Amino acid sequence: MVQHENIFHPMEVFLRKSRIPHIWCSGCGNGIILHSFTEAVKELEMDLDKIVVVSGIGCIGRVAGYVNMDSFHTTHGRAIAFATGVKLANPELTVVVISGDGDLFAIGGNHFIHAARRNIDIKVICANNFNYGMTGGQQGPTTPLEAYTTTSPYGNIEHPFNLVHLAAASGATYVARWTTIHVRRLTASIQKMLQKRGFGFIEVISPCPEIYGRRNKMRTGLEMMNWLKKVSTIKNFSDPAKAEVSREKIVIGEFVDTEKPTFETILYETIRWVQEKAEQGE
Amino acid sequence: MTKNRAVLTGEHFLSGDLACAEGALAAGCRFFAGYPITPATEIAERMALRLPEVGGIYIQMEDELASMAAIIGASYAGLKSMTATSGPGFSLMQENIGLAAMTEAPCVVVNVMRGGPSTGQPTKPGQQDVMQAKWGSHGDYEIIALSPNSVQEAFNLTIEAFNLSEAYRVPVFLLMDESVAHMWEKVVIPRAEDIKLVNRKKPSVPPGEYAPFRPEGDDLVPPMACFGEGYHFHATGLTHDELGNPKTDSPETQFNLVSRLCEKIRRNVDKITKTEKVMLDDAEVAVIAYGVVSRSALSAVKKAREKGIKAGLLRLITLWPFPERHIAEFADRAKRIVVPELNYGQIVREVERVAKNASIKFLPKLGEDLHTPSEILKALEEIE
Amino acid sequence: MNEQVEPPQSEEIRIGVYVCHCGLNIAGSVDCTEVAKFASQLPNVVLAKDLRYTCSDQGQETIKQDIKEHKLNRVVVASCSPRLHEPTFRKACEEAGLNKYLFEMANIREHCSWVHLYNRREATEKAKELVKMAVMRVALLQPAIENEVPIKPEALVIGGGVAGIQAALDLADTGYNVYLVEKAPSIGGRMAQIDKTFPTMDCSICILAPKMSDVGRHPNIKLLTYSEILDVKGYIGNFKVRVLKKPRYVTEECTACGDCTKVCPMIAPNEFDAGLAVRHAIYTPFAQAVPSTYVIDRELCLNKENVVVCDKCVKACERQAINFEMKPEEIELEVGTIIVAIGADVFDPSTIPQYGYGRYSNVITSLEFERLINAGGPSGGKLIRPSDMEIPKTVAFIQCVGSRSERTGKPYCSNVCCMNTIKDALLIKEHWPETQIYVFYVDIRAFGKGFEDLYRRARKEGIIFIRGLPAKIIEDKKTHDLWLIGENTLQKELYKIRVELAVLSIGLEPRKETELIQKLLTLSRSPDGFFMEAHPKLRPVDAATGGIFFAGCAEAPKDIKDSVTQASAAAARAGILMAKGKVTVEALTPMWVPEKCKVCGLCVKVCPYNAIKLDEESKKIEIVEAACAGCGTCGAECPFGALVMRHFTDEQIFAQINAATEIDADKKIVAFCCNWCSYAGADFAGVSRMQYPENVRIIRTMCSGRVAPKFIERAFARGAAAVLVSGCHLGDCHYINANYQTKKRIERLWKKMEKAGLNKERLQLTWISAAEGEKFASKIREMQAIVKSVTPEEIENAKKVFEKALEP
Amino acid sequence: MPVRIWRKPLDLEKAKPPKGEIHIIKDRCKGCGYCIEYCPRKVLEESEEINKRGVHPPQVADESKCVVCSFCTAVCPDFAIFVTEKPCEGGC
Q: What is the pLDDT of residues C502-550, one digit of tens each?
A: 999 999 999 999 999 988 888 888 888 999 888 788 889 999 788 999 9
Asked whether residue D56 is assigned to any structural domain, the reply reads yes
For residues A75-104, average pLDDT: 97
pLDDT of residue A1: 46
Name the residue among A68, A85, A270 with its Cβ closest to that of B232.
A68
For residues C661-669, average pLDDT: 91
The residue with greater pLDDT, D12 or C552, is: C552
Closest-approach residue (CA) in chain C for A226: C307
Name the residue among A68, A89, A270 with its Cβ closest to that of B73.
A89
- Is the per-residue pLDDT at C7 higher than 80? no
pLDDT of residue C2: 43
Which residues of chain A make contact with B96, given a CB cutoff of 8 A?
Answer: 75, 78
Q: What is the CATH number of the domain that holds C313?
A: 3.50.50.60
Give the span between the Cα atoms of C298 and C301, in whole angstroms: 5
Rg of chain D (C-alpha set): 16
Give yes or no for B246 touching A (CB within 8 A). Answer: yes
Asked whether residue C173 is assigned to any structural domain, the reply reads yes
Q: What is the pLDDT of residues C209-227, one digit of tens each?
A: 999 999 999 999 999 999 9
Sign of CA dihedral A114, A116, A119, A124: positive
Say how far residue A74 (Cα) sits from the centre of its chain: 15
Residues C488 and C381 occupy one common structural domain: yes
Q: What does pTM read for this prediction?
A: 0.82
* Number of domains chain D contains: 1
Give the lowest-confidence range in A124-128, B305-309, B319-323, C10-14.
Answer: C10-14
pLDDT of residue D7: 84
CB contact under 8 A, C350 and D4: yes
Q: What is the pLDDT of residues A99-114, one digit of tens each?
A: 999 999 999 999 999 9
Are residues C295 and C264 in contact, defined by beta-carbon separation less than 8 angstroms?
no
Delimit the domains of chain A by residue range.
10-281
Neighbours of C512 (CB within 10 A): 10
For residues B86-109, average pLDDT: 97
Give the span between the Cα atoms of C550 and C534, in whole angstroms: 10
Give yes or no for A180 touching D (CB within 8 A). Answer: yes
Which residues of chain D make contact with A1, given a CB cutoff of 8 A?
Answer: 22-24, 59-60, 63
- In chain B, count of helices (H) and strands (E)? 13, 16
Closest-approach residue (CA) in chain D for A12: D79
Question: For an interface test with B, which of A17, A23, A59, A90 has the most B Cβ atoms less than 10 Å from its Cβ?
Answer: A90
Residues C353 and C426 occupy one common structural domain: yes
Give yes or no for C785 touching D (CB within 8 A). Answer: no
Residues C519 and C504 occupy one common structural domain: no
Instruction: Please give the ipTM for the structure prediction.
Output: 0.82
The residue with greater pLDDT, A278 or C807, is: A278
Which residues of chain D make contact with C309, given a CB cutoff of 8 A?
Answer: 38, 40, 69, 71
pLDDT of residue A5: 57
pLDDT of residue D2: 56
Name the residue among C305, C311, C314 with its Cβ closest to that of A229.
C305
Give the span between the Cα atoms of C610 and C623, in whole angstroms: 9
DSSP helix/strand/coil, A178: strand
Give yes or no for A177 touching B (CB within 8 A). Answer: no
pLDDT of residue C1: 43
Asked whether residue C643 is assigned to any structural domain, the reply reads no
Asked whether residue C1 is assigned to any structural domain, the reply reads no
Asked whether residue D9 is assigned to any structural domain, the reply reads no
Question: For an interface test with A, which of C304, C307, C311 has the most A Cβ atoms less than 10 Å from its Cβ?
Answer: C307
Mean pLDDT of chain C: 92
Q: How confident is the model at residue C806 (pLDDT cuts 50, 70, 90)?
A: confident
- Is the per-residue pLDDT at C320 higher than 90? yes
pLDDT of residue B218: 85
Q: What is the pLDDT of residues C67-87, one digit of tens each?
A: 999 999 999 999 999 988 999
Domains defined for chain B, CATH in brackets: 10-194 (3.40.50.970), 275-382 (3.40.50.920)
Which residues of chain B make contact with A110, given a CB cutoff of 8 A?
Answer: 62-63, 66
Give yes or no for D33 touching A (CB within 8 A). Answer: yes
Q: How confident is the model at residue C6 (pLDDT cuts 50, 70, 90)?
A: low
CB contact under 8 A, B228 and A50: yes
Its CATH architecture, for the domain A10-281, is 3-Layer(aba) Sandwich (3.40)
CB contact under 8 A, C314 and A184: yes
* Domain assignment of residue C49, given as a range: 11-145
Residues C752 and C670 occupy one common structural domain: yes
- Is the per-residue pLDDT at B60 higher than 60? yes
CB contact under 8 A, A2 and D82: no
Sign of CA dihedral C779, C785, C788, C792: negative
Closest-approach residue (CA) in chain D for A21: D28
CB contact under 8 A, D11 and C269: no
Asked whether residue D13 is assigned to any structural domain, the reply reads no
CB contact under 8 A, C306 and A232: yes
CB contact under 8 A, A82 and B245: no
Asked whether residue D23 is assigned to any structural domain, the reply reads no
Asked whether residue D50 is assigned to any structural domain, the reply reads yes
* Number of domains chain C contains: 5
Query: Whats the size of chain B, residue-wise?
Result: 384
Q: Looking at chain D, which subunits does it touch, using at least 3 CB pairs closer than 8 Å as the criterion? A: A, C
pLDDT of residue C465: 95
Percentage, residues of chain B above pLDDT 70: 99
pLDDT of residue A4: 52
**Cα–Cα–Cα angle for A107, A110, A116, nearest 5°?**
130
Helix ranges (H only) for C140-222 are: 162-174, 204-217
- In chain A, count of helices (H) and strands (E)? 9, 10
Neighbours of D79 (CB within 10 A): 24
Rg of chain B (C-alpha set): 21
Question: For an interface test with A, which of B4, B76, B103, B229 has the most A Cβ atoms less than 10 Å from its Cβ?
Answer: B76
pLDDT of residue D91: 57
- Is the per-residue pLDDT at C8 higher than 70? no
Q: What is the pLDDT of residues A112-158, one digit of tens each?
A: 999 999 999 999 999 999 999 999 999 999 999 999 999 999 999 99
- Is the per-residue pLDDT at A31 higher than 90? yes
Give the span between the Cα atoms of C795 and C722, in whole angstroms: 10
Closest-approach residue (CA) in chain C for D42: C302
Are residues D63 and D21 in contact, defined by beta-carbon separation less than 8 angstroms?
yes
Asked whether residue D34 is assigned to any structural domain, the reply reads no
Closest-approach residue (CA) in chain B for A71: B234
Question: For an interface test with C, which of A184, A250, A252 has the most C Cβ atoms less than 10 Å from its Cβ?
Answer: A184
Give yes or no for C256 touching D (CB within 8 A). Answer: no
CB contact under 8 A, B3 and A72: no
Q: What is the CATH number of the domain that holds C765?
A: 3.40.50
CB contact under 8 A, D9 and C265: no
Are residues B60 and B34 in contact, defined by beta-carbon separation less than 8 angstroms?
yes
Percentage, residues of chain C above pLDDT 70: 99
DSSP helix/strand/coil, C763: strand
Give yes or no for B59 touching A (CB within 8 A). Answer: yes
Percentage, residues of chain A above pLDDT 90: 95
Helix ranges (H only) for B16-169 are: 16-26, 41-50, 64-76, 87-102, 130-135, 151-168
Are residues B272 and B164 in contact, defined by beta-carbon separation less than 8 angstroms?
yes
pLDDT of residue B1: 47
Name the residue among A182, A236, A253 with its Cβ closest to that of C308.
A182
* Domain assignment of residue D46, given as a range: 40-86
D abuts C (3+ Cβ pairs < 8 Å): yes
Phi, psi of C646 (to 5 degrees): -65, 140
Residues C565 and C428 occupy one common structural domain: no
For residues B92-99, average pLDDT: 97
Closest-approach residue (CA) in chain A for D44: A1
Closest-approach residue (CA) in chain A for D60: A1
C abuts A (3+ Cβ pairs < 8 Å): yes
Q: What is the pLDDT of residues C692-751, one digit of tens each?
A: 999 999 999 999 999 999 999 999 999 999 999 999 988 778 887 899 999 999 999 999
pLDDT of residue C483: 95
